[in-house]
């Protein structure tokens, strides 16, 4: 962020700086933060950035760079609910066999099942691109997000009406759809999985400490 002297004087006053120096990052950074907060950040970054530079292209450009450096690493839970089945070998005979880390199991659950009421919003755990949004052959409505080369997150048993389409870019926390009963399921829950180069990994290793 770059200030005109008059805007900097105003922003420095908002930040409560004494003898502010526009060339000193120790003054410029809090002044920029105070200025943006006074215009609605962090609740509404787009409005705050637009007040700083009223060009329609400016807020999306800044936000896309911010995401590349900061928000892109943000990981959130897809929803808040009760984990009814964890990751790994299981006695649930509905789960398929899988060999994992040198052992083969008759039944292996490749994700987390998180129970929540029908219609609960399901959110992208991190920024990425929608690579699948639709119905699988077993009837399950699924969204898949690619977060990086070969790193996917999968959200299953959603209701038919989705909030995203194939190819959409999403940010962490963006609603993808809602908890449904599509596919083979005995009650409303989200089947959530993360794959690294096609190999499932325990989502609890990736998700933050439970909120």
| Residue number, 41 or 143, with CB nearest to Zn ion | 143
| Least distance (Å) between residue 161 CB and Zn ion | 21
Q: Exposure of 40 by Cβ count < 10 A (0-12 exposed, 13-18 middle, 19+ buried)?
A: middle
| Least distance (Å) between residue 123 CB and Zn ion | 18
**Sign for the pseudo-dihedral over CA of 102, 108, 110, 113:** negative
| Least distance (Å) between residue 88 CB and Zn ion | 12
Query: Which residue's Cβ lies closest to Zn ion?
Result: 191
| Residue number, 123 or 191, with CB nearest to Zn ion | 191
3-state DSSP of 103-139: EEECCEECCEEEECCCCCEEECCCCEEEEEEEECCCC
| Residue number, 41 or 142, with CB nearest to Zn ion | 142
List residues binding Zn ion (CB under 5 A): 113, 191
The percent of the chain in helix, strand and coil, each rounded to the nearest 5, is 25, 30, 45
| Least distance (Å) between residue 112 CB and Zn ion | 7
| Least distance (Å) between residue 144 CB and Zn ion | 15
| Residue number, 113 or 144, with CB nearest to Zn ion | 113
- The answer to whether residues 66 and 74 touch, using CB atoms and an 8 Å cutoff, is no
Strand partners, 130: 145
CA–CA gap between residue 30 and residue 3 (Å, rounded): 12
| Residue number, 17 or 190, with CB nearest to Zn ion | 190
């Amino acid at each position: 962020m770059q200030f005109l002297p008059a805007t900097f004087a105003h922003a420095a006053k908002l930040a409560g700086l004494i003898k502010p120096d526009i060339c000193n990052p120790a003054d410029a950074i809090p002044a920029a933060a105070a200025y943006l907060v006074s215009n609605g950040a962090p609740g509404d970054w787009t409005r705050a950035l637009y007040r700083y530079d009223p060009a329609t292209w400016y807020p999306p450009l800044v936000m896309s760079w911010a995401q590349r450096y900061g928000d892109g690493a943000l990981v959130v839970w897809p929803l808040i609910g009760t984990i009814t089945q964890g990751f790994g070998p299981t006695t649930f005979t509905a789960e398929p066999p899988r060999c994992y880390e040198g052992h083969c199991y008759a039944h292996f659950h490749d994700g987390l099942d998180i129970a929540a009421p029908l219609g609960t919003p399901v959110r992208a755990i991190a920024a990425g691109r929608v690579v699948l949004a639709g119905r699988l052959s077993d009837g399950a409505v699924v969204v898949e997000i690619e977060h990086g080369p070969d790193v996917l997150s999968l959200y299953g048993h959603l209701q038919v009406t989705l909030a995203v389409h194939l190819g959409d870019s999403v940010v962490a926390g963006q609603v993808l759809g809602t908890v449904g009963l599509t596919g083979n399921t005995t009650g409303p829950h989200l089947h959530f999985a993360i794959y690294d180069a096609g190999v499932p990994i325990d989502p609890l290793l990736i998700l933050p400490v439970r909120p």
